[in-house]
Chains A and B, each alone.
Chain A
């Protein structure tokens, strides 16, 4: 096959220039700097993913990203920016705040960390070559992914969190990402959470836009969970309406471990949330959920790759997408069952509710099964509100808008119920109600 040199777009050219100009200023040297170069080499070679790349077929970044925004400096008013955030405020949590991707110590509860939890700002960890950084980037099915590679090349700050063996924390860890500025910027924060054997932890992650300029966010949260760990995770994308927001959750799950993760999406003009999960030990279970609400011309992509590499693990995926206006939803879910992963039980469901005639949903569930003694199923549905149900509700006296809202809430509720923390669940339900209340 002939070698083809791709013609670079203006954004791609700018991205290369930015990396060359920044690489010596980004934190870390030695292995870390080499890692940045390797990650960026992938990006320089392939360019921005576009519709010809299978995994990005429905989310064409080359088309969407016309200009590569400069990497954000630490904002001078970082604390003030964080103070504009409101998400998950009622939940009992230890807060770690990030403004435009930079760790904000003065708005983080470092002094009040529960016993067994240690936090190092990522910029410091990178600069000192923290030994635990060796745990980064271990999820095989995430290797080569554009958003992850871009973050690996540019990661400027974030946090390295260690939850010591056997720790059981009653407070959640709240990763509070706040983005805002007067001119366009890009972010690349990374949070690495090492959960040692037998520990349990609740992680809440919020992403909010509070500024005026459009931005390009690209966050990565990595969780390396040991044996017998329990992790509950809830995530909110309430990014600014004109933001492009990429995000990745990469998880390695040890034996007899349990992870529940729910992602809610209301924000961003274009967003893509990726989950890469590798089962590394037997008898573990995973529950992934999603509740996405889109309107206007929003585009939101949820892409999962669940890698059953070992036997006796269960995975459940339940994703709900409600689409109004001219918005587009994307669900790509892949469950891989490796030859050794006998007795795998995997069930994936993506359901979309289209509230307008111009709404679009792209559903792509995939099973790749190489073992013979497994139970796997997937389903994808796409439909409108049931007119018979609406008649039933309106005939009982509910105005049409209320009847529609009740049915949409019920639709999303099944996913939102996965959130264990009551305050966070109630807030997500309230946000769904608020979203419905804004329907014209």
Chain B
């Protein structure tokens, strides 16, 4: 589903990704682990299409199509979804208004009919309930005054409603207590599907106890330096990233 070949990326003249190769198959949950500064978040932003990064070489193929020239919204319409490490607050835009706008924008891009209001409400209610998001939260400005855990649940709610085919979770566990982590992980697990792939970016192994990956990749110095099964996460938890930092240097 996702194939990244020799991706080289700079920001403000500083090389962040250094010939990265990665393949994630449909139905697969792939974890990327690595020390701080290894380029994990940059990878997620570059896949989603953030402008300030300069791609010097390589390609990102989604279902065989290179998405590097596409705008972020065009990538979203093709099923790419990034759950942000730090979801942004948008005062003045109610969560409901926002959800309806993004769902209909994607439907429009795929030439599907807009959702009727009752259908929209039904879907939001059902998805919100699973994530323990109450109606009051949905009426507030998007993420305004939400706790860290509430913001992350709101990201997963959007993911559930948009039904993307390729989901990137960027440090979704950061700032979450164990209860919130379980809710978020459960939300993700219910979306696991043979037609859908996940890229779970995390610094700690903790999240991977709850979202159990099929593959684990270790990233250092802007490249994937080691790949393995879920046991690799446990090994990293025990040994730390010190070896990889040295290898990178």
Could you list which residues of chain A lie within 8 angstroms of chain B, going by C-beta atoms?
387-389, 391-400, 402-403, 406-407, 409-411, 413-414
14 contacts between A and B (CB under 8 A): A389-B88, A393-B90, A395-B48, A395-B49, A395-B50, A395-B72, A396-B105, A396-B158, A397-B109, A398-B105, A399-B73, A399-B105, A400-B73, A410-B93
Provide the bound-state CA to CA distance between A413 and B75, in Å: 30
Q: Does B178 contact A (CB under 8 A)?
A: no
- Determine if A414 and B91 form an interchain contact, defined as CB atoms under 8 angstroms apart: yes
B72 — nearest CB in chain A belongs to which residue?
Answer: A394
Provide the bound-state CA to CA distance between A413 and B102, in Å: 19
A416 — nearest CB in chain B belongs to which residue?
Answer: B92
Q: Sort A-B residue pairs by CB-CB distance and give the 10 closest, nearest first.
A: A410-B92, A397-B76, A394-B72, A397-B106, A396-B102, A413-B92, A395-B72, A410-B93, A397-B105, A392-B88
Whole-angstrom distance from the CB of A103 to the nearest CB of chain B?
A: 39
Q: A396-B102, A400-B71, A400-B73 are in contact. Are A410 and B51 (CB under 8 A)?
A: no
Provide the bound-state CA to CA distance between A397 and B71, in Å: 9
B110 — nearest CB in chain A belongs to which residue?
Answer: A397
Q: Does B115 contact A (CB under 8 A)?
A: no
- Determine if B102 and A397 form an interchain contact, defined as CB atoms under 8 angstroms apart: yes
- Determine if B51 and A398 form an interchain contact, defined as CB atoms under 8 angstroms apart: no
Q: Does B101 contact A (CB under 8 A)?
A: yes
- Determine if B92 and A411 form an interchain contact, defined as CB atoms under 8 angstroms apart: yes
- Determine if A397 and B51 form an interchain contact, defined as CB atoms under 8 angstroms apart: no
Cβ-neighbour of B105 out of A387, A402, A407, A413 (below 8 A): A402
Provide the bound-state CA to CA distance between A402 and B108, in Å: 13
Q: Does B120 contact A (CB under 8 A)?
A: no
Whole-angstrom distance from the CB of A21 to the nearest CB of chain B?
A: 52
Whole-angstrom distance from the CB of A389 to the nearest CB of chain B?
A: 5
A393 contacts which chain B residues (CB < 8 A)?
A: 90, 102
- Determine if B48 and A397 form an interchain contact, defined as CB atoms under 8 angstroms apart: no
- Determine if B92 and A394 form an interchain contact, defined as CB atoms under 8 angstroms apart: no
- Determine if A388 and B93 form an interchain contact, defined as CB atoms under 8 angstroms apart: no
Per-residue CB proximity of B69-108 to A under 8 Å, as 1/0? 0011101110000101001101111000010011001100
Provide the bound-state CA to CA distance between A403 and B102, in Å: 10
B77 contacts which chain A residues (CB < 8 A)?
A: 397
Q: Does B162 contact A (CB under 8 A)?
A: yes
A414 contacts which chain B residues (CB < 8 A)?
A: 91-92
Cβ-neighbour of B93 out of A387, A391, A397, A406 (below 8 A): A406
Cβ-neighbour of A396 out of B52, B71, B76, B91 (below 8 A): B76
- Determine if A392 and B71 form an interchain contact, defined as CB atoms under 8 angstroms apart: no
Provide the bound-state CA to CA distance between A413 and B72, in Å: 26
B45 — nearest CB in chain A belongs to which residue?
Answer: A391
The size class of the interface chain B forms with chain A is 20 to 34
Provide the bound-state CA to CA distance between A392 and B81, in Å: 11
The number of A-B residue pairs with CB atoms under 8 Å apart is 72
Q: A396-B76, A398-B73, A410-B93 are in contact. Are A388 and B101 (CB under 8 A)?
A: no
Provide the bound-state CA to CA distance between A392 and B88, in Å: 7
Could you list which residues of chain B lie within 8 angstroms of chain A, going by C-beta atoms?
48-52, 71-73, 75-77, 82, 84, 87-88, 90-93, 98, 101-102, 105-106, 109, 141, 158, 162
Q: Which of A393, A397, A406 has the most CB of B within 10 A?
A: A397
B75 contacts which chain A residues (CB < 8 A)?
A: 395
- Determine if B50 and A391 form an interchain contact, defined as CB atoms under 8 angstroms apart: yes
- Determine if B72 and A409 form an interchain contact, defined as CB atoms under 8 angstroms apart: no
Known A406-B98, A410-B93; 15 more pairs at CB < 8 Å? A388-B88, A389-B90, A391-B50, A392-B87, A392-B90, A394-B73, A394-B76, A397-B76, A397-B105, A397-B162, A398-B101, A398-B102, A406-B93, A410-B92, A411-B92
Cβ-neighbour of A395 out of B52, B76, B98 (below 8 A): B76
- Determine if A402 and B88 form an interchain contact, defined as CB atoms under 8 angstroms apart: no
B93 contacts which chain A residues (CB < 8 A)?
A: 406-407, 409-410
- Determine if B73 and A392 form an interchain contact, defined as CB atoms under 8 angstroms apart: no
A412 — nearest CB in chain B belongs to which residue?
Answer: B92
A406 contacts which chain B residues (CB < 8 A)?
A: 90, 93, 98, 101
A402 contacts which chain B residues (CB < 8 A)?
A: 101, 105
A400 contacts which chain B residues (CB < 8 A)?
A: 71, 73
A397 contacts which chain B residues (CB < 8 A)?
A: 73, 76-77, 102, 105-106, 109, 162
Provide the bound-state CA to CA distance between A404 and B109, in Å: 18
- Determine if A391 and B92 form an interchain contact, defined as CB atoms under 8 angstroms apart: no
B72 contacts which chain A residues (CB < 8 A)?
A: 391, 394-395
A386 — nearest CB in chain B belongs to which residue?
Answer: B88
Q: A397-B106, A397-B162, A398-B73 are in contact. Are A410 and B91 (CB under 8 A)?
A: yes
A387 contacts which chain B residues (CB < 8 A)?
A: 51-52
Whole-angstrom distance from the CB of A399 to the nearest CB of chain B?
A: 5
B109 — nearest CB in chain A belongs to which residue?
Answer: A397
B82 — nearest CB in chain A belongs to which residue?
Answer: A395
Provide the bound-state CA to CA distance between A403 and B88, in Å: 14
B92 contacts which chain A residues (CB < 8 A)?
A: 409-411, 413-414
Provide the bound-state CA to CA distance between A389 and B84, in Å: 12
A410 contacts which chain B residues (CB < 8 A)?
A: 90-93, 141
- Determine if B48 and A407 form an interchain contact, defined as CB atoms under 8 angstroms apart: no
Provide the bound-state CA to CA distance between A409 and B76, in Å: 23
Provide the bound-state CA to CA distance between A402 and B77, in Å: 15
Whole-angstrom distance from the CB of A408 to the nearest CB of chain B?
A: 10
Q: Which of A389, A395, A410, A411 has the most CB of B within 10 A?
A: A395
Whole-angstrom distance from the CB of A10 to the nearest CB of chain B?
A: 47
A406 — nearest CB in chain B belongs to which residue?
Answer: B93
Provide the bound-state CA to CA distance between A388 and B49, in Å: 12
Whole-angstrom distance from the CB of B156 to the nearest CB of chain A?
A: 13
B47 — nearest CB in chain A belongs to which residue?
Answer: A395
B48 — nearest CB in chain A belongs to which residue?
Answer: A395
Whole-angstrom distance from the CB of B60 to the nearest CB of chain A?
A: 14
- Determine if A394 and B88 form an interchain contact, defined as CB atoms under 8 angstroms apart: no
A403 contacts which chain B residues (CB < 8 A)?
A: 73
B158 contacts which chain A residues (CB < 8 A)?
A: 396
